[in-house]
Structure 1
Amino acid sequence: MLRLIDLILARGSTPLIDRANITINPGRKVGIIGANGAGKSTLFAALRGQLHAERGDIAMPNGWVIAHVAQETPPSDRTALEYALDGDVELRELEIAIARETEHPNPDAAKHGEELAHLYARMETIGGYAAPARAAELLAGLGFEHDMQSRAVTTFSGGWRMRLNLAQALMCRSDLLLLDEPTNHLDLDAVMWLEDWLARYPGTLLVITHDRDFIDRVADQILYFDTSAGDAGSKLKLYTGNYASFEEQRATELSVQQSAFEKQQRTIKHLESFITRFKAKATKAAQAQSRIKALEKLERIAPAHVDSPFTFEFRKPEGEPRQLLKFADMKLGYGEGEAQKVILDRVSFSILPNSRIGLLGRNGAGKSTLVKALAGALAPLAGERIEGQHLKIAYFAQHQLEQLRTDETPFWHLDQLDKKLVEERGYPRARDQDIRNFLGGFDFRGDRVGEKVGVFSGGEKARLVLAMLVYERPNLLLLDEPTNHLDIEMRQALTLALQDYEGALVVVAHDRHILRACCDELWLVANHRVAPFEGDLDDYRDWLREQRAKPAGGDSAPSRKDDKRAEAEERQRLANLRKPIQKRIDAIEKELAKLTGARDALDVWLASEAAYAAENAPSLGDKTRERGELAAKVDALEEEWMEKQEAMQWVR
């Protein structure tokens, strides 16, 4: 077993872990959670012997093999497959010993034969002959296609190198596996594969992660770093069960605090107010339903987050056009001429004001390409991108963290954004204190508001970018992996804010909690197409397993002539299906233009003094009733228009 005995750890003069007494039995899978800077990575350093305790001890069985994910990838011309195999140290030692004995045999033939027999027997025992196949399977699960496995390590980007380091750690036949934020550089497909792999791992697992769904599926215990004591260092407490169970236990512990109830009641009142206002309005019904789900969960989970430093919400977007964005027969990709690479083809859909979409798809299928095109950051190779009137897009992607001014402060960034909004949209200029209060909701308080961004961690930079997006009041929010570097409390705050956000939302995320809580529909990006996914995230896991089970290759490709004929037939088929729907949409728009004109004219008359003059008294009631009837007809036609738009975009 692994034991922490009266353990005190510090970094320099800063205490991080205070008198921890924890026992973890062999084979347990422990999720480690707590705020950034609480000492989680410091504990890993101590377990690996890289940091000595100020007091106390760490006890574990002699001979335990410890595996961890290296943070650096040395430059190497070795292939990805060979690099992963390096994780099995004993395998490599046996290979060297066999090569040495073969090239320089013992002069005593009997001893030479005996030594080789021993080495080969050991190789058989550890499964060494099947090791390349195991390494290839690991790499495939982490997203490395077959041809990528033979590429040199030096050809991979930073994120892919971290996947190589993870593969190397998993390749090690360890007794104790230490994983520090393993999902940060993975997409949803690889995360789901890793969960399945860890479920079969026979050793003891300690994993630091802020992905609550990942912990729920992997962990059977939670080690919580409680920083509520302030500067004294984290108190460690071990809970039995997964993260959902931890939340319930933690909520029970905190429910005695009156402040927990007060904060919870404010949140419930806010959600109930939204539901009351919008539940009966069809255009907001889906969003109201998501708030109902949030309210159902709130009584169980909210108290576990009462000490969260994050409190923010999206302000109501300006304007609400019937259609925010439309893609018409779009072809998306990169390059020109013969070098052109098509990622997505025949992409047609509309983003409506109440759209809340989660994008699914395997790595490289085109999710980020689609989001870039939605944002207008990628021009289509063919087709048309049509923006609705008053469209205001806010776009979060990881590269935007690098676009922050490292020599400037959070206050400077928000102040510059506020000036831009005053100039472009005519907003009133915010007071300095208003900006400081807003930043406080993202835990930039006191001196942190004036510190240079260059010293910030990845999580702090991500929070600042999110703060800037929220400040813009968008009516279309595009999020491409927004939770990387964010801790659980910030993810929880973002989830609640997104549930209350009244604009349209498109999300790519490996954090399934956000997808489940904030998205009303899932779209699958696969085989160069975008289409609705009929099912939930558990169904998507099954779909992924089916895809992995399919044999590589397949029938030979059809001729280009056949392709063109099939494409023409498909276009004609779709045109025939869409024609009656489009005809009805056109008719609705003409009728809406006429009715809204009449309604607006009545509004002008009813707002005038003449409407209430004595001579107009007999007609005032009739005009008021007429105005109500017109409004009802407009609402009904708008609902039908949205239904037809949704039907049109998914004609297949």
Structure 2
Amino acid sequence: MINLQGVSLHRGERDLLDSADCRIFPGHKVGIIGANGCGKSTLFKLLLGQLETDAGRVDLPSTWRISHMAQEVEASEQSALDYVLDGDSELRLLQKQLAEAEASSNTDGHKLAELHERMASIDGYSGPARAAQLLDGLGFSHAEQQRPVRSFSGGWRIRLNLGRALMCPADLMLLDEPTNHLDLDATLWLEQWLQRFPGTLLIISHDRDFLDAVVDGIVSFEQQKLVLYSGNYSAFERARAERLAQQQIQFEKQQAERAHMEDFVRRFRAKASKAKQAQSRLKALDRMALIAPAHVDSPFHFTLPSSDKTSNPLIDLREADIGYTDRVVVKDVQLGIQPGRRIGLLGPNGAGKSSLIKTLAGTLAPLSGERQCGEHLAIGYFAQHQLEALDSNGSPLLHLQRLSPDASEQSLRDFLGGYGFIGDRVFEIVGGFSGGEKARLALALLAWQKPNLLLLDEPTNHLDLEMRHALTLALAEFPGAVILVSHDRHLLANTADEFILVADGRAEPYSGDLDDYKQWLLGFNRDKKRKEEKSSTVSGSEEKAPEDKKTQRRAAAALREQLKPLTNKLKNIERQMAAAEKALAAVQEKLADEALYSGGQQEEIARLNRQQSEQQELMEELEMDWLEISETLEDIRSE
């Protein structure tokens, strides 16, 4: 068990923790949340023994193996695969001892057998294969796994650090913002991996859907204390809203925030089409109206103004081939962006989503075809590396003054206040800002210019949960057009009315919602892996002579007989999934009932949250079983 008793921690003039208590039991998966700079990463350093408390004590079992995700990695000639394998230090030590023993002519046979037995006991012989699977899930191709670490960019090196942490056999795993540099497919893969992790997991994350899928508890930094909530992030929001409602001032703010959100949902409902994405967004907005009261004390409140003038279309791509001098990434793109369109770009890693946004933004010229812009087009472009364009020696106020020299200082300060730059913070040098603070400033600069087309490529990287919530609200009501790439499904669900799937060299409308896309992506990655495995095998064996019809009929009958137990099992799982989905919907309906939170029903709330977690776990297990059996069936049919 992890036990913090009366822990106080000070850094400079700031009090991060003041007599804080917290207990986390073995096997629990807990999300660590709080505003940027509140002390989340410092808490990890306490658990790792890298820092001492100013008061109180931190206890955890001395025998626990701890794995943690480093934030930096040195450039080296070591291959990506070997770097990840180093995460399992016991495996690496045994490999070294075995190599030395086998190279020595004086090695005792009994000792050699003992080393092989220890290697087998830790499943060491499958180590390289397991490391390759981790890298594959994190988006590294088989060729990239052999490249030296120094050849990767900073974001991809962070992925290597994540793979190295996952490779370590751990009783306690500490992950600090693991999804920051992941795209959606890698995020979904990581969710599934962590759901199967048997140890204790503490994870700092600002991705609410990711936390909902992985954790069964939340530790929140609140006024220098650690407050433990049971359930996932959605359960935390409901519990926090109930607690805040007991305070009159907060309650009044809640009612105003809820009324505003409910009015927006009514307005959207009146114009929403029957398209599946629009209906999915409507459901997401309904949920936002329920959770809005949990964020009434957020320091971030802002809107995204749009240009007074517009064009129709704002921008038009006609028969555009998108890519680079050495290759075409997306072919024959036909895309017209009209005012008010809200598009989410979906697609696997490397398919060309960022290249498409760059072409729309005008920073990447199409290889062929046309890019036509409306007379009043005003683009606000947030690129993945937008933070690098900031002047590290300038202040937030100076950045805005450069854009509008004639604007009054007070108007600029008022605007920056909505993004968390209050008081003298507007004069601080950007070079000393955290990644989250830089991201907030970049968004503020973009909003100040009043674009009528927002092009956003992973805008939530480095943003904390409160800022993500404020951005989601602002984008939901932004009157202009939005094109969005994000691994944050909550943001996508509440922002996009339609999706475009970028895959296999094409960019085409996608009729499903995000749940459908998740299943499509799992199938896409499975097919990709199968193709890679087939292409890596040495071909050249002669094809078998064609069988006569009688032999073919016998083979078909034998195949049906072989598949029958699996197909029956698949149907049984589908029936179980339908029943579990119905049970989960019933529990969620009860949890959505506002009367439940009127007070005095904490035990019932806790019981329903447990039921919800159990049903969600059951659904995940059934889905994994269904996918495994489906894959087995496909493998048998393709033999």
Question: Which category describes the TM-score, using the shorter chain as reference length?
Answer: 0.7 to 0.9
User: Hey, what does 1:59 align to over in structure 2?
Assistant: 59
What pairs with 1:280-429 in structure 2 (closer than 5 Å)?
A: 293=283, 296-335=286-325, 340-419=326-405, 429=406
Shift of 1:317: 3.2
Q: Secondary structure at the match of 2:143?
A: helix
Shift of 1:460: 1.0
1:490 aligns with 2:467: yes
Q: TM-score when scaled to structure 2?
A: 0.80
Shift of 1:15: 2.5
Q: Is the 8 A contact 2:5 2:20 kept in 1?
A: yes
1:255 aligns with 2:245: yes
Residue identity opposite 1:362 in structure 2: P
2-structure distance, mates of 1:322, 1:277: 23
Q: Is the 8 A contact 1:290 1:518 kept in 2?
A: no
2-structure distance, mates of 1:445, 1:80: 43
2-structure distance, mates of 1:74, 1:103: 31
Q: Write out per-residue CA displacement over residues 47-104 of structure 1, whole angstroms, 9 at most, x where no aligned residue.
A: 1111112222222223110001122212321211111111100001111222232333
| CA shift in 2, pair 1:216/1:283, >3 Å | closer
1:164 aligns with 2:160: yes
Shift of 1:295: 5.8
Moved more, 213-222 or 463-472: 463-472
Q: Is the 8 A contact 2:261 2:289 kept in 1?
A: no
Q: Secondary structure at the match of 1:253?
A: helix
What pairs with 1:410-449 in structure 2 (closer than 5 Å)?
A: 410-419=396-405, 429-449=406-426
Q: Is the 8 A contact 1:317 1:502 kept in 2?
A: no
1:523 aligns with 2:509: no
Moved more, 153-162 or 240-249: 153-162
1-structure distance, mates of 2:288, 2:313: 32
What is the RMSD computed on CA atoms of the aligned residues? 2.4
2-structure distance, mates of 1:161, 1:277: 45
Shift of 1:541: 1.6
Paired residues, number? 533
User: Hey, what does 1:501 align to over in structure 2?
Assistant: 478
Residue identity opposite 2:491 in structure 1: I
Moved more, 212-221 or 448-457: 448-457
Q: Is the 8 A contact 2:269 2:282 kept in 1?
A: no
1:188 aligns with 2:174: no
2-structure distance, mates of 1:445, 1:58: 35
User: Hey, what does 1:475 align to over in structure 2?
Assistant: 452
User: Hey, what does 2:227 align to over in structure 1?
Assistant: 237
Q: Secondary structure at the match of 1:146?
A: coil
Shift of 1:207: 0.3
Shift of 1:285: 11
Q: Secondary structure at the match of 2:426?
A: helix
2-structure distance, mates of 1:191, 1:251: 28
| CA shift in 2, pair 1:238/1:272, >3 Å | closer
Q: Secondary structure at the match of 1:207?
A: strand
What pairs with 1:582-601 in structure 2 (closer than 5 Å)?
A: none
Q: Secondary structure at the match of 1:313?
A: coil
Gaps of 5+ in 2: 537-639
Q: Is the 8 A contact 1:328 1:385 kept in 2?
A: yes
Q: Is the 8 A contact 1:290 1:499 kept in 2?
A: no
Moved more, 276-285 or 214-223: 276-285
User: Hey, what does 1:586 align to over in structure 2?
Assistant: none
1-structure distance, mates of 2:314, 2:154: 36
User: Hey, what does 1:84 align to over in structure 2?
Assistant: 84
User: Hey, what does 1:620 align to over in structure 2?
Assistant: none
Q: Secondary structure at the match of 2:110?
A: helix
Shift of 1:170: 0.4
1-structure distance, mates of 2:501, 2:267: 32
User: Hey, what does 1:426 align to over in structure 2?
Assistant: none
Q: Secondary structure at the match of 1:56?
A: strand
Gaps of 5+ in 1: 228-233, 420-428, 557-652
1:119 aligns with 2:119: no
Q: Is the 8 A contact 1:22 1:238 kept in 2?
A: yes
1:220 aligns with 2:216: yes
Moved more, 313-322 or 65-74: 313-322
User: Hey, what does 2:18 align to over in structure 1?
Assistant: 18
Q: Secondary structure at the match of 2:479?
A: coil
1-structure distance, mates of 2:264, 2:31: 35
Q: Write out per-residue CA displacement over residues 378-409 of structure 1, whole angstroms, 9 at most, x where no aligned residue.
A: 11100001112311110001322111122221
Residue identity opposite 1:373 in structure 2: T
2-structure distance, mates of 1:288, 1:132: 45
| CA shift in 2, pair 1:204/1:262, >3 Å | same
Q: Write out per-residue CA displacement over residues 236-286 of structure 1, whole angstroms, 9 at most, x where no aligned residue.
A: 011110000000000000012233333334344545665677765689999
Q: Write out per-residue CA displacement over residues 392-435 of structure 1, whole angstroms, 9 at most, x where no aligned residue.
A: 1100013221111222211111122124xxxxxxxxx5322111
| CA shift in 2, pair 1:278/1:202, >3 Å | closer
2-structure distance, mates of 1:292, 1:214: 21
Shift of 1:106: 4.8
Q: Write out per-residue CA displacement over residues 551-587 of structure 1, whole angstroms, 9 at most, x where no aligned residue.
A: 124799xxxxxxxxxxxxxxxxxxxxxxxxxxxxxxx
Q: Write out per-residue CA displacement over residues 506-562 of structure 1, whole angstroms, 9 at most, x where no aligned residue.
A: 100111110011111111110111012222222222112112222124799xxxxxx
What pairs with 1:514-593 in structure 2 (closer than 5 Å)?
A: 514-550=491-527, 551-553=530-532
1-structure distance, mates of 2:281, 2:98: 64
Residue identity opposite 2:81 in structure 1: L
Residue identity opposite 1:323 in structure 2: P
User: Hey, what does 1:450 align to over in structure 2?
Assistant: 427
Q: Write out per-residue CA displacement over residues 285-339 of structure 1, whole angstroms, 9 at most, x where no aligned residue.
A: 999989965663344212211111111002243234332111100001112xxxx
User: Hey, what does 1:98 align to over in structure 2?
Assistant: 98
Shift of 1:203: 0.6
Residue identity opposite 2:451 in structure 1: P
Q: Is the 8 A contact 1:459 1:485 kept in 2?
A: yes
User: Hey, what does 1:143 align to over in structure 2?
Assistant: 139
2-structure distance, mates of 1:407, 1:12: 23
Moved more, 315-324 or 247-256: 315-324
Residue identity opposite 1:40 in structure 2: K
Q: Write out per-residue CA displacement over residues 475-516 of structure 1, whole angstroms, 9 at most, x where no aligned residue.
A: 110100000111000000000000111111010011111001
2-structure distance, mates of 1:487, 1:188: 18
Q: Secondary structure at the match of 2:290?
A: helix
User: Hey, what does 1:459 align to over in structure 2?
Assistant: 436
Residue identity opposite 1:388 in structure 2: G
Q: Is the 8 A contact 1:284 1:354 kept in 2?
A: no
2-structure distance, mates of 1:249, 1:495: 21
Identity of aligned residues (%): 56
Q: Is the 8 A contact 2:191 2:210 kept in 1?
A: yes
Q: Write out per-residue CA displacement over residues 194-238 of structure 1, whole angstroms, 9 at most, x where no aligned residue.
A: 0000011111000001111110000000011113xxxxxx20011
2-structure distance, mates of 1:450, 1:287: 43
1-structure distance, mates of 2:299, 2:259: 20
Residue identity opposite 1:458 in structure 2: G
Residue identity opposite 2:37 in structure 1: G
Q: Secondary structure at the match of 2:72?
A: coil
1-structure distance, mates of 2:490, 2:252: 25
2-structure distance, mates of 1:505, 1:286: 18
Rg bigger for which structure?
Answer: 1
User: Hey, what does 1:72 align to over in structure 2?
Assistant: 72
